[in-house]
Structure 1
Amino acid sequence: MTENNPKKTREEKQIFKKMNFKKMNGWKIAFLVLTAFVIGTGIFLGTRIFAIREPNYSETAKVTNTKGQEVTTISMNKSQLNALIDYYLTDFQKDSSVKYQFALENEAMLSGETKVLNFPVHFYLYFDPYVMENGNIQLRAKSMSIGTLGLPIEEVMKLVKRSYDFPEWIEVTPKDKAITLRLDQFQLPTGLFVKAKKINLIDDEIQVGLYLPEGKE
């Protein structure tokens, strides 16, 4: 019968603990590496999704001749203007597979569908319209709805700007949370142009001036 050696037993226990420590430490390292990879991938995808690719705009957009004689003032209500907007957007988006809608109620509303992490999400953006001194119209975003996602308005507007084609005379500026209708760049086929004069959605009063360019009076 062999005699027990207490010293040898203690050494064996220490070796066993070291082996277990290395094994546990290896699992911890693998877990940390995997966690760092997942977080890093998420950050990368997030920045790619919300990074906006800005086109090279010139500092001063081309402006058509907005000097002339006012021919008449056109008054309309929201229903009449919505019919015109719907007709215009239907024609403008006829060759587009991704469509959006714009309508006036007690506020201006832009709605459509975009993708977040490659999943389709329906959005609604609500604006207050303001007539600018030059006769253009600025829509200032005040609230939004985009499913259950808690994204800030600026990020949603970046997604909208990337996802949709807008007429050249419409400027979307996510940083300012605004959309500007550049009526000074919108000219009717006859050469006439328009300027906004009044927008009161609550009282259902909308007025635009119709102008004849200089040299054509």
Structure 2
Amino acid sequence: MNNEQETSKKEKDAKQRKQKKDVQTPMNRWKIAFLILVGTIIASLAFIFVRITQVREPNYKPVPELVAKEGTPVIAIQSNKKQVNALIDFFLSDFQKDSDINYKFYLENEAMLNGTFEVLGYPIEFNLYFDPFVMNDGNVQLKAKSLSIGTLGLPIKEILKFVQRDYKLPSWVEVNPDDSTILLRLDQFRMQNGLFIRAEKINLVDDDIRMNIYLPKDTSSKED
């Protein structure tokens, strides 16, 4: 009798252990899957941060000093956002035709830079918004004010570093990540016969954009 009771108790204990194991197995699998998911997310975020902030040999060019050009305004241009956007689109399409990374820049009620960078082989799109300011020297400063990049919380400074390092930019475009600005160096923008351009007014809300084309001082003096 005792043997039968002992055998029955062992069978009961074995059954309980099996049931407990069966309950724990799915829980363990879910726990492992959750940890893998968390690890993947952390690794992806770390990769993004390293990819953007990594130090590589940048394509820095010597920044020319500001040139205080003197001349006579010969053509006053009053334009609007639609016309300027068409000009920008035409210029960038030609400028980036041999580039692996393309971006767009256009004007709405604020200036916007639209681009992408890759994370684990997948493109991540961003929109960087600027307020434009006309400088006293006729150049245009774009002050970054906000960034849209999905759910990623990356600072504007790091995106500008990425743009400065990896994007093909015109020689007269100067990116300054530390103060979150892009300077359009119109004093370095080359035109035929020495003509140069200066911004006079940019009011995107009222759709009023004005620039002047200048005849160089030495050329105008010869004609006098």
Please say whether Structure 1 and Structure 2 have the same fold, judged by a TM-score greater than 0.5.
yes
In the alignment, does 2:82 pair up with 1:83?
no
Tell me, in whole angstroms, the C-alpha distance in 2 between the residues paired with 1:77 and 1:49: 35
Any conservation in 2 of the 1:49–1:117 contact (CA below 8 Å)?
A: no
Tell me, in whole angstroms, the C-alpha distance in 1 between the residues paired with 2:137 and 2:167: 27
TM-score normalised to the size of structure 2? 0.72
| 2:149 alignment counterpart | 146
Identity of paired residues, percent? 52
Query: After superposition, where does 1:1-217 map in structure 2 within 5 Å?
Result: 46-47=49-50, 49-53=52-56, 54-55=58-59, 57-58=61-62, 61=64, 66-116=69-119, 118-217=121-220
Q: CA RMSD in A?
A: 2.3
User: Which stretch of structure 1 is more off in the superposition, 163-172 or 183-192?
Assistant: 183-192
Is there any run of 5+ residues in structure 2 with no aligned partner, and where? 1-41
User: Which stretch of structure 1 is more off in the superposition, 110-119 or 45-54?
Assistant: 45-54
Instruction: State the AA in 2 paired with 1:201.
Output: L
Distance 1:45 1:144, change over 3 A: closer
| 2:34 alignment counterpart | none
Tell me, in whole angstroms, the C-alpha distance in 2 between the residues paired with 1:78 and 1:111: 17
Any conservation in 1 of the 2:59–2:165 contact (CA below 8 Å)?
A: no
TM-score normalised to the size of structure 1? 0.74
| 1:36 alignment counterpart | none
Is there any run of 5+ residues in structure 1 with no aligned partner, and where? 1-38
Distance 1:57 1:95, change over 3 A: closer
Is the partner of 2:219 in helix, strand or coil?
coil
| 1:25 alignment counterpart | none
Number of residue pairs the alignment of both structures matches: 177
Shift of 1:49: 4.0
Any conservation in 2 of the 1:114–1:160 contact (CA below 8 Å)?
A: no
Tell me, in whole angstroms, the C-alpha distance in 2 between the residues paired with 1:153 and 1:55: 20
Tell me, in whole angstroms, the C-alpha distance in 2 between the residues paired with 1:66 and 1:99: 32
Any conservation in 2 of the 1:62–1:185 contact (CA below 8 Å)?
A: no
Instruction: State the AA in 1 paired with 2:196.
Output: F
Any conservation in 1 of the 2:47–2:119 contact (CA below 8 Å)?
A: no
Structure 1 or 2: more helix by fraction: 2
Distance 1:166 1:56, change over 3 A: closer
Tell me, in whole angstroms, the C-alpha distance in 1 between the residues paired with 2:194 and 2:184: 18
Instruction: State the AA in 2 paired with 1:169.
Output: W
| 1:20 alignment counterpart | none
